[in-house]
Amino acid sequence: MTGMADIGMADQDRGGEVTIPGAGGAPERPAALARPANAGPAAEDDVTEWLADLRWPPEAGQQDGVQPDPAGPWWPGARVMAGTVAVSLVIGVLAAVAFRHYTRPSPGAAATSRAAAVRDETARWVAQQVSQEVVVSCDQAMCAALTADGFPARRLMVLGPTSPAPDGTAVVVETPAVRTLFGSSLDAAWAPAVLAAFGTGTDRVTVRVIAPHGAAAYQVLVEADLAARKAAGAALLHDPRISVPASAAGQLSAGLVDSRLLRALTALARHQPITIMGFGSPGPGASPGLPFRSASLAEDDPAAHLAGAAYVRAARAYLSTMKSAFHLTPVTTVTPPHGPPMLQVQVTAPSPLG
């Protein structure tokens, strides 16, 4: 009886609590921190923390005699599954890091891409603007790009380490590779005028006019051709079948218009009255003083006594008969930001001298 009383007293001293071994004695697993849905890829520290969580609860025998509960959620089978998931997450993180590293473009690749973009832009301009009856010299990559844009391969001369100066051609495309071959002598002695320029810095490409007899002789021809263009422009201004606004009249008087274009417009005016709205189309970055090679014409003229559509058809048809004689490009319709549509009549580059 005394023993039973002692046990009862001990129970009362513990407030009536009775501890049953093996029932609820295992420590609770700490709650995992919630991860925001938009937190992005897991960082290395996060993965490390998750792996630490997977080791909970401690292995059997590490606590004071407390054995794991076979029915509990963290029995070895569940641990294996959770470990597999964790390893997959680690592999995913490492794969993402490797992907970002190896797909980031290197400085060399970026420079190659810029050079290719400038080359393609230059090739498109040359194919559209330069006469396909002249010979163009270029490095191998540029010649390939010109061919891809429709410039005749038979009109291309590929420049290489053993090539002489390209004075047997009409136009040279000066790329970084060509500058390496000829240095500054190309623009100083053989190709002083720039038809167009593209790119900047070391990627810069210029399309140049070849001076077959040297830069000094080329300048003499430029001055003589300017005087001839001034005279032809003055004559056009006195043609009663040609209407010219003041801005375009100034360009004609200054001799700024290609002589072939002046002759083509004079011939068209004999067929039907025309109104010249303006001149333009030197290439981007062109040398000062190069002649304008395009004219914008109104798409009707009261003196023609034709409706707008009929007037345009008649002008296009007549100009097509003069395409070869004056080296005309196809006639197009352009719409300025402010104003009605206009016909664009254009001759090819380069402008002849003399």
Q: Give one word for 285, left, alpha or beta, with left for phi > 0 and alpha for psi -120 to 50.
A: left
Angle at 258 between CA 313 and CA 129, to 5 degrees: 70
d(Cα 277, Cα 343) in Å, to the nearest integer?
A: 10
- pLDDT at 50 (0 to 100): 47
Q: Is 276 exposed, middle or buried (0-12, 13-18, 19+ CB in 10 A)?
A: buried
**323 burial level (CB within 10 Å; 0-12, 13-18, 19+):** middle
Rounded Cα distance, 144 and 354, in Å: 33
Interatomic CA distance for residues 206 and 179, integer angstroms: 10
| pLDDT at residue 300, as a whole number | 87
In angstroms, the CA 255 to CA 222 distance is: 11
Mean pLDDT computed over every residue of the chain: 81
Peptide bond into 166 cis (omega under 30): no
pLDDT at 259: 96
pLDDT for 32:
47
Looking at residue 316, what is its pLDDT?
95
Residues ≥6 apart with Cβ < 8 Å to 195: 129, 130, 171, 207, 208, 209, 282, 283, 286, 287, 290, 349, 350
Q: What is the pLDDT of residue 57?
A: 52
Using left for φ > 0, alpha for ψ between -120 and 50, and beta otherwise, residue 194 falls in beta
Give the CA count within 13 Å in the CB-facing half-sphere of 209: 26
Condensed to tens digits (0 to 9), the pLDDT of residues 289-344 reads 999 999 999 998 888 888 889 999 999 999 999 999 999 999 999 998 888 999 99
Rounded Cα distance, 142 and 106, in Å: 24
Residue whose token pair is 């056009």: 236
The ranges of the chain with pLDDT < 50 are 1-26, 32-33, 37-42, 44, 47, 50-51, 54, 56, 60-63, 65, 74
Percent of residues, the chain, with pLDDT higher than 70: 69
What's the pLDDT tens digit per position in 168-216? 899 999 999 999 999 888 888 889 999 999 999 999 999 999 998 999 9
